[in-house]
Each structure stands twice: as structure tokens, then as C-alpha cells.
Amino acid sequence: MKNFNNYGENEINYLNARDGKLEMRTEDGVIHFGQTVEQISEVIQENGVYENLMGGSSLDFASEFGFKNDDDALSLWDDALIHSAKEEKLKSDNSKTKRMACGYYKGNYVDGIWVWN
């Protein structure tokens, strides 16, 4: 599985909620928008995530920015991270990843990141 914080200059470094979508800014100034887990996961896979990811207060008050509930924006982000990890696991050809996919290794979800034992 790719390390989400080891991609280079275009990593996602800032999140906001806007009009029912997640706004993801990369270090090179590009702004991406995603409304579904799949859309956001694709941006994560293409750019990676900066290890010191920051987020605006709109994430805490997402209902004021087009989401149904206040926690929906962060839940969407978390679901997209999980989806990205699963997609990377499926794409990988190395044997450790294949063993993880078969349940050989056990993983824990810690602070928004999958950590494999």
C-alpha cells in the first residue's frame, strides 16, 4: 500500500467543506472537489496526503456548508481514505499486500490511517 504522505509536491494539504462537497487543496495551489467517496479517493490516490493535513472550521460545521449533518464532511473524508487504502491494496502486486488482503496481517484504524501489524 502506498504511503499517503510520501508523494511529492502535489499532496493534499488543506480541506474545507463547500456546497456539499469536500474542497481539497494541494501544495501546488490546485483545488479539487469531490462529493462521493470514489471521487475523493481518486484525488487521494493521484496526489497523496500531506502528513500535516490541515482543515478549515467548515469541516466542523458542515451542515452550514451544504452537508446534512455537521460530521458528514469528515465522515466522507474518512470513508475516502479507507477506500483509497483498499484500492491501493488491490493494485499492489507484492506478496505482503496480498497476504494483508487475505487477512494474514491484522490492521488497526488509528487517527484516520490504517496501521498494519
pLDDT digits (tens, 9 = 90+) for 18-41: 999 999 999 888 999 999 999 999
Q: Which residue range(s) make up the domain with 25?
A: 12-92
Structural domain total, the chain: 1
Distance separating alpha carbons of residues 31 and 108, to the nearest angstrom: 31
**All residues at 6 or more sequence positions from 68 whose CB lies less than 8 Å from its CB, including other chains:** none
Instruction: Give a yes or no: residue 99 inside a domain.
Output: no
Sign of the CA dihedral running 92, 110, 8, 20: positive
pLDDT digits (tens, 9 = 90+) for 81-110: 999 988 777 666 444 544 444 443 444 545
Triad 6, 114, 46: Cα angle to 5° = 40
Q: What is the mean pLDDT of the chain?
A: 78
Per the document, the length of the chain is 117
* Contact in structure between 22 and 68 (CB atoms under 8 Å): no
Instruction: Give a yes or no: residue 113 inside a domain.
Output: no
